[in-house]
Amino acid sequence: MELRNIAIIAHVDHGKTTLVDAMLRQSGTFRENQQVAERVMDSNDLEKERGITILAKCTSVDWKGVRINIVDTPGHADFGGEVERILSMVDGVVVLVDAAEGPMPQTKFVTGKALGLGLKPIVVVNKVDRGDARPHEVHDECFDLFAALDANDEQLDFPTLFAVGRDGWAAEAPEGPKDSLEPLFDLILKHVPAPNHDLDAPFSMLATTLEADPYLGRILTGRIETGILKLNMPVKGINRDGVVEQFRASKILSFRGIERVPVDQAEAGDIVCLAGMTKVTVADTICAAEVTEPLKAQPIDPPTLAMIFSVNDSPLAGTEGDKVTSRVIGARLFREAESNVAIRITEQDSKDAFEVAGRGELQLGVLIETMRREGFELSVSRPRVLFKTEDGQRLEPIEEVFVDVDEEFSGVVVEKMTIRKAELTGMRPTGGGKTRITFLAPSRGLIGYHGEFLTDTRGTGLMNRVYHGYAPYKGAIEGRRNGVLISNASGEAVAYALWNLEDRGPMFINPQVKVYEGMIIGEHSRGNDLEVNPLKAKQLTNIRASGKDEAVRLTPPRKMSLEQAIAYIQDDELVEVTPKSIRLRKRLRDPNDRKKASRSAEE
C-alpha cells in the first residue's frame, strides 16, 4: 500500500484538532452516526488547558488507496527533545494558520526545525469565514516567516489552501468551492514524497517515542527505515555502544484512524508501535540480527535543570491528597522517566527525596501539575542548574534565546537580559515594527524571567529557548530583592490581622485560609524576612463609638501559578503542592532552626 507521512504544525486554537476530525470523517474512518467524544490529538487535560501539545501523537487516514499517517508535534522548546526526532519520521509538513491571527510563535519553533531538516511545507489558511479574516495577507506573512527561518527556494515555493475545518472544506481560493477536503488530500498525495522503500534490505527502525502501556508494557513508536518487520521475528536493539538487548517482536501495532490495530507485518516507510522489549529506549535502533550499524539518531539534549521532589512534611500534609509516601512518589517518578527520555531521576541519600533533572521549568512544571492532579502531595525546591567541571574550570549550561518584540520594548529586554548575564549575539528588524534579538544566556539567569518578560513587553513579546552548550561560569546573578512575611502561628488567617499587615507588603493568602508556623503568607516590602501573626483578631471592648467600626477592606492577594511559585522561592524555601493548594513555606519551619542555619552558613 502506498504511504505518505506528514506532521501537522499549528498554534493553539487555530483549528488543527477540528480539521483532523473532519479529515477522519471524510476519509471514512468514522461512520456517519458514530459518536466521537474525544478530540483525537489533544487528549490530555493539561494540553487542553494550557493549549500546548506535550505528547506527540499519531493517527492515519486512507484516501484513494494511499494511507496518510498524520503526526502531531509539540510546539514548545522544553519538549524540543521530542520535536526533532518526530520530524525525522515524516516526509512533509502541513502548517496550519488562522486567517485572522496569522502565523504565531508556537508554530515558529517547530517550523524552523522542519525547514532545517529540508521538509517541504504545505500551508493551510484556516477559518477564512471569520469576520476579521485576511487570508491573502496571512499567506504573505507565512512567506515572510519562512524567509526569516532561512527556508530554501524550493521550500519558499509552497502550495497554499484556504479552509474552514469546522465546515469540512478546503479550496485553492477563499471563496471556495466549499464542498469537501478533497483538495487537501489530493495536495498531500501530490506534494509530499512517498517514503523511500527499500524492502530488500534487512529490517531496521529508529525508536522515536516511548510510552508505558498497562497491558503491553513498554511501547516504542518509530518509522521503519528499511526491510520488513514480521510478528514474532527475532530482533535486537543497538546503539553506538553495541547491543542493548535481543527480543521478539511480540506485538506490532499500526495506526488505523485514531486506533492502533495489531498487524502481522509492516514494511519500510510505515510508522508502527512495537512491544516486547524491556531495555531499548528512544534513539536506539531496532533491527534484524544481521544489522551491525545503528541508524543516525538525533542526540537527546542533556538535562540542564534539576529540582528536589520530597515528601510533604508540613502540618497540613495528607489532608488534601492520598498519595503522600516516598515509595509512591518514587515509583511514579521512575515510571515517568521510562517514557520521557529528557528526564533523569536520582534518589537522594535521605530516601525521602528525589532529584528530577529535565530540560526546563515548563517541562518540570507540567510533571508536577500532572502528579498533583493524580492525587499526589509533595514539596519541591527551587530549580538549580547542573554545573560541570572540566580541566578544573566550572562550566554552566547556556541557552540560545530568540526574542521577538516590538521595537519600543527592545531596550528594556536587552537591559534585563544583561543583568542576567546574557550576551547579545544579534539584532535585526523582522518587519511590522518588530525586532528579533538573539542572546546566549546562562540557564540559571532565565529561571523565573518569562513572567517578567511578558509584563515588560505588555504580553506581546515572544521568547524561544534552545539548549546551546556548556560555557565557563558567568558569575553571580542577583536574585529576589525582597524578603517574605512568615506566619509565626498555626490556625486560620483572620481578615483583621491581614488588613493590619498590608502596609508590610502584598499578601499571598485570603482570610479563612489555613496557615502554619513557617508558611510564607506575603512579600515583605523590605529586604529582610519578617515573622508576623495572621491570626490576631480585633480586641472587643464595651465602649461604643459614635461612628460604626470601619469595615475591613482587603487588597486582593497575589495569587501565584505553580510555575510562578517555583520561580519565586529562594534556596531556603519550598513549594508545597497538593491537589487543592499551592503554598510557599520555609524549608526549616522553626525560627530558631532558621537562625542556627543562617549563622552556620555565615561561618
Cell reading at 292? 551491525
CB atoms within 10 A of CB 497: 19
DSSP alpha helix (H) spans, 511-590 = 562-568
Query: Residue 285, annotated ligand binder?
Result: no
Which CATH superfamily is 2-191 part of? P-loop containing nucleotide triphosphate hydrolases (3.40.50.300)
Helix (H) or strand (E) holding 248: strand 242-248
Handedness of CA 407, 413, 418, 424 (dihedral sign): negative
Known binding residue 128? Answer is yes
CA-to-CA dists, residue 406 to 145, 277, 425, 462, angstroms: 16, 51, 18, 10
16 is in an annotated binding site: yes
In whole angstroms, give the CA distance from residue 551 to residue 365.
40
Q: How far apart are CA 292 and CA 310, in angstroms?
A: 43
**18 assigned binding-site residue:** yes
Q: H-type helices in 75-210, by residue range?
A: 80-87, 105-116, 135-148, 153-156, 182-191
pLDDT of residue 54: 36
Query: How far is Cα of residue 401 from the mean position of the Cα atoms in its chain?
Result: 16
- CATH architecture label of 388-472: 2-Layer Sandwich (3.30)
**Distance separating alpha carbons of residues 586 and 598, to the nearest angstrom:** 13
In angstroms, rounded to a whole number, what is the distance separating the alpha carbons of residues 515 and 474?
39
Between CA 534 and CA 489 the distance in angstroms is: 8
* Structural contact between residues 441 and 450, judged by C-beta atoms closer than 8 angstroms: no
Q: What's the grid cell of residue 171? A: 479550496
Q: Is 406 annotated as a binding residue?
A: no
Q: For residues 77 and 468, give the distance between their C-alpha atoms in angstroms, rounded to a whole number.
A: 12
| Residue 350 pLDDT | 77
> Measuring CA to CA, how many Å separate 591 from each of 80, 291, 490, 532, 586?
43, 64, 14, 12, 9
Structure-derived torsion over alpha carbons of residues 126, 128, 134, 140, reported in degrees to the nearest 10: 40
17 marked as part of a ligand binding site: yes
Query: Cβ distance 415 to 277 under 8 Å?
Result: no
Backbone angles phi, psi at 602, to 5 degrees: -70, -35
129 has binding-site annotation: yes
State yes or no: 538 annotated in a binding site.
Answer: no
Nearest to 473 by CA among 503, 443, 512, 516: 443
Determine how many CB atoms are found less than 10 A away from the CB of residue 344: 15
Pick the closest to residue 407 from 441, 439, 431 (CA basis).
Answer: 431
The length of the chain in residues reads 603
- Grid coordinates representing 467 are 539548549
The β-bridge partners of 274 are 220, 252
CA-CA distance, 232 to 250, in Å (whole number)?
A: 5
Does residue 574 sit in helix, strand or coil?
Answer: strand
**Which residues, listed in sequence order, are joined to residue 92 by a DSSP beta bridge?**
6, 120
Is 15 annotated in some ligand binding site?
Answer: yes
113 assigned to a ligand binding site: no
CATH, domain range 204-287: 2.40.30.10
The three-state secondary structure class of 244 is strand
Query: Which parts of the chain sit beneath pLDDT 50?
Result: 31-44, 46-56, 75-80, 547
Domain ranges of the chain: 2-191, 204-287, 388-472, 484-602
* Angle CA 454–457–463, to nearest 5: 60
CA distance 158 to 409: 33
Q: Return the pLDDT at 576.
A: 92
For residue 322 the three cell numbers come to 492520598
What CATH number matches the domain at 484-602, 2.60.40.10, 3.30.1300.10, 2.40.50.250, 3.20.20.70? 2.40.50.250
Taking the C-alpha atoms of residue 174 and residue 158, their distance in angstroms, rounded to an integer, is 17
Provide the whole-model pTM.
0.70
